[in-house]
Amino acid sequence: MRSINGLIRYLLFFLSHSLVMNKSMDQKNHTRNIAIIIGNDCTNSDLSKCGEGNIKAPEIGQLAAKGLTLNKAFGCVAIACMTVLLFNTREVSAQSGHPNVVLIFIDDMGYGDLSCFGNQVIQTPHIDGLAKRGIRFTNFYVNSPICSPSRAALLTGKYPMSWKIHSYIERREENERRGMNDWLDADAPTLAKVFKENGYRTGHFGKWHLGGGRDVGDAPLPSTYGFDRSLVSFEGLGNRILFRNDRLSEASSKLGNGPVTWVEKHESTKIYVDSALNFIQENPSDPFYVHLFPNDVHDPHLPVTGAVEKYQGMARSASEARFFAVLEDLDEQIGRFIGSLDEMGKLDNTIIVFTSDNGPTDWPRYYRDGEYPPGFTGGFLGRKWSLYEGGIRMPFIVSWPKKIPEGMTDSQTVMSAVDLMPSLMRLADLQGVPNGDGEDRSQAMLGTPLTDHRPIMWEYGSAQGGSILPGHDKNVSPNLAILDKGWKLLINADSSRAELYHIDEDPFESKNRVNDKGELARKLAAKVLDWRRRYAVPLIE
């Protein structure tokens, strides 16, 4: 790209001295085209951000306003060169470098919360637009039905029990009681570390919950795990935003270890989006790996004043109306982020992955108050804190313009969060992929469905001290599960309460087949029980 930029500058210099005025040109379009060709952080609205050594904004404006006609000697050659460069800049950039990668990981979004995944109450047009520009996967699973272990699996490509993280990271006393670490091992291989080692700038903006918060003030910062820049919330350290009138934010403010900014919760996603975009714009020529991890869909839902009224007639409760208002704002902010990438000329060379960390909330208080918890599972049994489908099966969208088919739905490929590390490494053509528990699913992410997969296994609540249980009895699942060739077995670690479902035929887990498929149930049970015994985390008594 340096040689191309040098040629462009020479051509511009030549044109400014060898060309004569003749024809008026549209200033806005011309300055935008030159800005794109130069390849730095110039935009129509703010040409003053052009980098040093390039032609300055006033000079570009003068050239565009006056218009130019080539002299006979060199005009045709110059026009040809500039036309080729103009229409092939993005292609050259994509071919000469690696694609950018963005992971959008929503907190507590259910499978059916997006209109492109079946929400018939409200629309999410911006996220739906992302699905229209890419592939919608209907068989994607996270590796835990709760935040911290789900995030650990996504980031490391390994089952979260590998890191002694099997529930949410709490106070030190509670972590010790449950046989959990206070934070993710600082030596853990991570997506951010691998991307950084391959020349990417890396940023995390949003919920962290892999160490830091409550009474844990000495956890490693996100930079330890490979991030050049981070902005987290109350369940993390370093630069962070805290929510007013929030108990956990108050606790975080006393820990130090990073600057704190107090905001309203409804402002958080906008701040994360702005921070991510600023990070990307700072070095526009570098490839980036960015996490955008909003946490406003996690209850309590606190939308901006006045946003709830429009939903009061369609919601089943006041809680659900607040949730709808928050979901609408989330969709708008995601749309703004994607639109900004497009305006920057980054979208065509950016892989965007969109999913959620676990199913929607299921606190007992909703049922006590006579309400149905906000958030949709698409009809699947179970919610957050459950190994039934509603707790672990998530909406999943991947987009990469001109590389991934548009408007496709893949209902064959089965994959989980630990597969993202090898898959994204392959898509980005990176070296140094760590050994993990996932498998490369890049072929499916490029549009060719896959029919086979490794067995996927889950654990939740089998360790000493247990974990949070769903608020409704019907959502309380056994504490182990395995999915293999369409068959899903759930069983407790003490071998009790075995349940077997053919997920392809019975996705709502309504017909337990353990009695008529006894031999299969025993084989799957042996696999998942042996898998659980490999981890040095004591079982629940």
Q: Is the pLDDT of residue 405 over 90?
A: yes
116 in helix, strand or coil?
A: helix
**Assigned token pair, 402:** 């001109």
Of 161, 139, 134, 137, nearest to 148 by C-alpha is 161
pLDDT for 114-129, tens place per residue?
Answer: 999 999 999 999 999 9
Q: How far is CA 198 from the centre of its chain?
A: 20
* Stretch (H or E) spanning 490: strand 487-491
Q: Is the pLDDT of residue 45 over 70?
A: no
488: how many CB neighbours lie within 10 A of its CB?
A: 25
Q: What residue type is assigned to position 451 of the chain?
A: T
Going by pLDDT thresholds of 50, 70 and 90, the confidence category of residue 17 is very low
Residue 189 preceded by cis peptide, ω within 30: no
Output the DSSP codes for 240-307: EEEETT-HHHHHHHTS-SS-EEEE-GGGHHHHHHHHHHHHHHHSTTS-EEEEEE--TTSSSP-PPTTS
Of 292, 294, 260, nearest to 277 by C-alpha is 292
Q: What is the pLDDT of residue 541?
A: 76
Q: What residue type is assigned to position 464 of the chain?
A: Q
Going by pLDDT thresholds of 50, 70 and 90, the confidence category of residue 431 is confident
- What is this structure's pTM? 0.83
Measured between alpha carbons, how far is 214 from 217 in angstroms, rounded to an integer?
8
Going by pLDDT thresholds of 50, 70 and 90, the confidence category of residue 280 is very high
The mean per-residue pLDDT over the stretch 408-435 comes to 95
Instruction: Give the Å distances, CA to CA, from 400 to 130, 142, 189, 276.
Output: 10, 22, 25, 19
Contact 62, 21 (CB under 8 A): no
Q: What is the pLDDT of residue 371?
A: 94
pLDDT for 215-225, tens place per residue?
Answer: 999 999 999 99
Measured between alpha carbons, how far is 140 from 389 in angstroms, rounded to an integer?
10
Q: Is the pLDDT of residue 24 over 60?
A: no
Q: Is the pLDDT of residue 314 over 60?
A: yes
Q: Is the pLDDT of residue 51 over 60?
A: no
Output the DSSP codes for 377-419: -TT-S--TT-SSHHHHEEEEEEE-TTTS-SSEEESS--EEGGG
Q: What is the pLDDT of residue 540?
A: 87
Q: Is the pLDDT of residue 95 over 60?
A: no
Terminal alpha carbon distance of the chain: 62
Q: What is the pLDDT of residue 97?
A: 76
The mean per-residue pLDDT over the stretch 515-526 comes to 98
Q: What is the pLDDT of residue 102?
A: 98
Classify strands 415-416 and 487-491 as parallel, antiparallel or unpaired. unpaired
Q: How far is CA 389 from the centre of its chain?
A: 20
Helices (H), 308-348: 318-343
Measured between alpha carbons, how far is 312 from 316 in angstroms, rounded to an integer?
8
315 in helix, strand or coil?
A: coil
Classify strands 499-502 and 487-491 as parallel, antiparallel or unpaired. antiparallel
478: how many CB neighbours lie within 10 A of its CB?
A: 22
Q: What is the pLDDT of residue 273?
A: 98
Q: Which residues pair with 140 in a beta bridge?
A: 394, 415
The mean per-residue pLDDT over the stretch 343-348 comes to 97
Q: Is the pLDDT of residue 532 over 80?
A: yes
